[in-house]
Chains A and B, each alone.
Chain A
């Protein structure tokens, strides 16, 4: 097996060998490696196939910007993870990784055929091709696209890992632990700012930490040695917290940032167990220092995507940090000085390399150093093509013309096994931009730089466009002193010696004799978009960078265009003949690197996903086979499956029992608002449509609440307990919103009213007993209470004691039966319920759930707000004009009831529907029409409630139908998938129109 690990470094522990599997084969690396460095040490460059053309692709970078080396980690259904960047994944014993987007395998990939038909897959290919015929979309195109698309596989079972969230507050947050970040953190912490320094890598130090060029010195030491000293010093600072393996995912307004800390991803399987995998830090910082550095740019030339072509600086890091060389015969292709550092490093380790430089000449210290070492430099040359299928084996260079627009002279063919490219540096302005900061464009090296700050933040170091070490340190110190309003002198006498770069020669799309259509000049490696695609988009009329991006998908892959966005902009600017600074950039959106869902969700999974509210009778319901329905956060019994009944049978039994003898419902979840104050009656007058002033003490009244737009908002029964004391009930789901709405009016519109609102929903439990035998059951429970119709009529309220515990009893009915609601302090709810059940035994008192409740009220034509209404129904639409007071001067929504739209006669109105076949049950939500022949079919409305009534022995339904009020007796049609159901419009009340049962 080849070994490309050519020397020892302090970051690789050669005593700790680590075995791992890649694409099923076992390899070895060392502790300190990333998956990428370990693969390169084993001579593996080819790590995947490209998204569209399935071209072989290799490792390009050594960090978060990696477009190609993304892999699938693990194979367990619950733990596998796609799209992990091999360049960031720390190697651990037992790691299993595989390449993505290739079938059957990375070396032989059937999709590779796309590479040869690529002229047929231009930008916007999917938009243009899969449009016609329409019927093909669902059955042919979509399944095909889905099959071949996608990067990696998601886990199919719940994630067993533990994730955590934590809130923290700091005076200063420093993002990035390179030279500038370390200096900033030290200055802040030493001046009494509580400081947090985060860095996404395992160790601090950025790219300076492995710098070993003798010509770069700080205080007569190698810059890396000097920096190590600084790191030792800041570790001693008591008010500095350092978080490594922590990356900022998002920078929100008001200096609120989200950071992801990796806690166990680098540990072997057995050490991961029972530990928190990742933690999401929610950071509020008074001030933020952004020191996120910069990333090297690739160059755009023909076949610039072959395995073995990397960023020049990454070759340097693999060599000096990991001890791994990316090749034995390396060519560096550059337009600036930084490739020379790589070249010198390689040379020192005995790796043969030559430089192809776009510039006509250059004469910085670094270049002189390279020349003196005898490194061959081709100035004023450009790479025009590369060769080698699974790895680069040679390339062609040509001379550049004077203006740089074309190539001249003869091709020179050079052999190599690795090509490093350096197109200059892009400052990482993501954090600055996410915070709302604007950007400036600097023409000389074609970079966007932080400009205005909208937050209390500052950018220092190379993310601010300061590139050589002296510049970086000087400017960082000055800016931090100013930013924090301090006068730190620590770096006053720091003596920095480094090479100064003089010029660059930036050409976004490098010239080539071959016409663009026949070359493959990749701009976005991960999404496979080329310079040609971008030019095509412009030709087709796209101008905005946001449109070109979406049309060509440039910058839209999991790497979010970290390597490609600048080049896309450059090619657009060149082609359209505009200045690059005027184009703007695409929006930098969080997250900076992908986050796992687990990190975002944290502990809020499983039973912690949402609050569950249970009534005090809940245990009894569980013991008695209740199936539960979620109503808001409440668990309400839906039906009680007796002796293995299905839902239909249970509901039929419950409904019949409630009307034949007695039924009992847990009504504790209804919203209860205690209303007190001298203006309580006036307040109710204003919030309900009907009149309240004359409601006698001890009486109950049903009320309908509207929104200011006249639409029904909520309903419920309110009881006058004493002169200035009412108890309002609301729908279960609407309780919180109703309280908020009432508070809003009290605080903002009617602050003069003396009214106090208190939510008492959880304070009382409610058992509702209905049916002809309910009075007998009440008599057993409250033997001293006079239950006669004279003393305790329908819609009235009494107080009594149940074994010395106060109860509020309302004689109110949502079923149309004689009915009582007993309210008791919640802690006694369960006892109350059991006593009711016990007392009701001889009367076959049957517990019923929400489904039966819905059925019983539908028989009576009572609406359920939110089921029969949807925020577009007025009281009149519901045929409830009777509840709207004509006398009251004003109430919420009154004026809207006679707007031109609300008085239209062809509004959708609530009606009853009876199916011609009484056994046929309609589907709720089904559309209603009168004529199925005319096309398009005119939709008249829809079914809102539908049940089979055991008490009427037929199917009943409520529906909203256009002009329904005038349609009684008319025939309508419900078209279903396989048949048309014939119905007749009826009254909304199906049972006991005379309300005889209320006093039965």
Chain B
């Protein structure tokens, strides 16, 4: 069970959070301009990384804020947390 350092509330138990999948998938500004394939890319295609992954979490039973997490999926270590809109830390690829 993770300990997640919510950027707004501090360290809390995983049970207070819900996971929102891969981070930094931006909703296309002009969906109508996209082909079926391009839209499907946004809609369905997600990475499934063994290693360092950027993902969204929501402090759903807390401040209800969404934020980003860098997690190593091979050992579940959370390497970094940062707010929505902030640039991902550069030292992780």
Chain A residues within CB distance 8 Å of chain B: 252-254, 256, 284, 436, 454, 708-709, 740, 743-744, 747-749, 751, 889-890, 894-896, 899-900
Contact = CB atoms under 8 A, between A and B. Distances in A.
Nearest to A901: B36
Contacts of A894: 31-32
B43 interface: yes
Contacts of A900: 36
Contacts of B3: 254, 256, 284
Contacts of B18: 740
A861 B60 CA distance: 36
Given A256-B1, A896-B39, 19 more contacts: A253-B2, A454-B77, A708-B43, A740-B18, A740-B58, A740-B60, A743-B66, A744-B20, A747-B65, A747-B84, A748-B56, A748-B66, A894-B31, A894-B32, A895-B31, A895-B34, A895-B39, A896-B43, A900-B36
A748 B84 contact: yes
A408 B85 CA distance: 78
Given A747-B84, A749-B27, A899 B1 contact: no
11 contacts: A252-B1, A254-B3, A436-B75, A454-B77, A708-B27, A747-B84, A748-B56, A890-B32, A895-B34, A896-B43, A899-B40
Contact of A899 (B2, B27, B39): B39
B64 interface: yes
B82 to A, nearest CB: 13
A894 B43 CA distance: 12
A896 B65 CA distance: 28
A336 B40 CA distance: 65
Interface in B36-76: 36, 39-40, 43, 56, 58, 60, 64-66, 75-76
Contact of B64 (A743, A889, A899): A743
Contact of B66 (A454, A747, A889, A895): A747
Contacts of B64: 743
A267 B64 CA distance: 47
A252 to B, nearest CB: 5
A895 B41 CA distance: 13
Nearest to B77: A454
B40 A744 contact: no
Contacts of A890: 30-32
A757 to B, nearest CB: 10
Contacts, number: 53
Nearest to B18: A740
Nearest to B67: A747
A711 to B, nearest CB: 11
Contacts of A895: 28, 31-32, 34, 39
Contacts of B28: 895
Contacts of A708: 27, 43
A751 B32 contact: no
Contacts of A748: 56, 66, 84
Given A740-B60, A747-B66, A899-B36, A253 B27 contact: no
Given A252-B1, A744-B20, A751 B84 contact: yes
Nearest to B2: A254
A253 B32 contact: no
Q: Would you list the 9 A-B pairs with minimal beta carbon distance, nearest first?
A: A895-B31, A256-B1, A747-B66, A454-B75, A254-B3, A253-B76, A749-B27, A252-B1, A895-B39
B43 A744 contact: no
B23 to A, nearest CB: 9
Contacts of A256: 1, 3
A900 B37 CA distance: 10
A900 B34 CA distance: 13
Contacts of B2: 253-254
A535 to B, nearest CB: 35
Contacts of A436: 75-76
B40 to A, nearest CB: 7
Contacts of B75: 436, 454
Nearest to A436: B75
Contacts of A709: 43
A817 to B, nearest CB: 38
Contacts of B30: 890
B85 A751 contact: yes
Contacts of B36: 899-900
A804 to B, nearest CB: 35
B10 to A, nearest CB: 14
A254 B71 CA distance: 13
Nearest to A891: B31
Interface centre among B31, B32, B40, B76 (most CB of A within 10 A): B31
Contacts of B66: 743-744, 747-748
Contacts of A747: 65-66, 84
Residue among A254, A740, A744, A894 facing the most chain B CB atoms (10 A cut-off): A254
Interface string B1-39: 111000000000000001010000011101110101001
A890 B27 CA distance: 11
A889 B29 CA distance: 10
A751 B43 CA distance: 20
A748 B21 CA distance: 13
A387 B52 CA distance: 60
A843 B16 CA distance: 50
Contacts of B43: 708-709, 896
A436 B2 CA distance: 13
A708 B27 CA distance: 10
A827 to B, nearest CB: 26
A454 B27 CA distance: 36
A708 B60 CA distance: 21
Nearest to B4: A254
A756 to B, nearest CB: 12
Contacts of A751: 84-85
A899 B39 CA distance: 9
Contacts of B84: 747-748, 751
A704 B28 CA distance: 22
Given A284-B3, A454-B75, A751-B84, A744 B58 contact: yes
Contacts of B76: 253-254, 436
Contacts of A899: 36, 39-40
B12 to A, nearest CB: 11
A261 B31 CA distance: 57
B1 A254 contact: yes
A894 B85 CA distance: 25
A744 B67 CA distance: 10
Contacts of B85: 751
B33 to A, nearest CB: 9
B44 to A, nearest CB: 8
Contacts of A896: 39, 43
Contacts of B1: 252-254, 256
B29 to A, nearest CB: 9
A58 B27 CA distance: 66
Contacts of A254: 1-3, 76
Nearest to A708: B43
Most A Cβ at <10 Å: residue of B1, B20, B40, B77: B1
Contacts of A252: 1
A337 to B, nearest CB: 39
Contacts of B27: 708, 749
A875 to B, nearest CB: 17
A749 B28 CA distance: 10
A256 B11 CA distance: 14
A284 B26 CA distance: 36
Contacts of B56: 748
Nearest to B83: A747
Contacts of B26: 749
A894 B30 CA distance: 11
B35 to A, nearest CB: 10
A894 B42 CA distance: 14
B61 to A, nearest CB: 11
B65 to A, nearest CB: 7
Nearest to A710: B43
B76 to A, nearest CB: 5
A890 B56 CA distance: 24
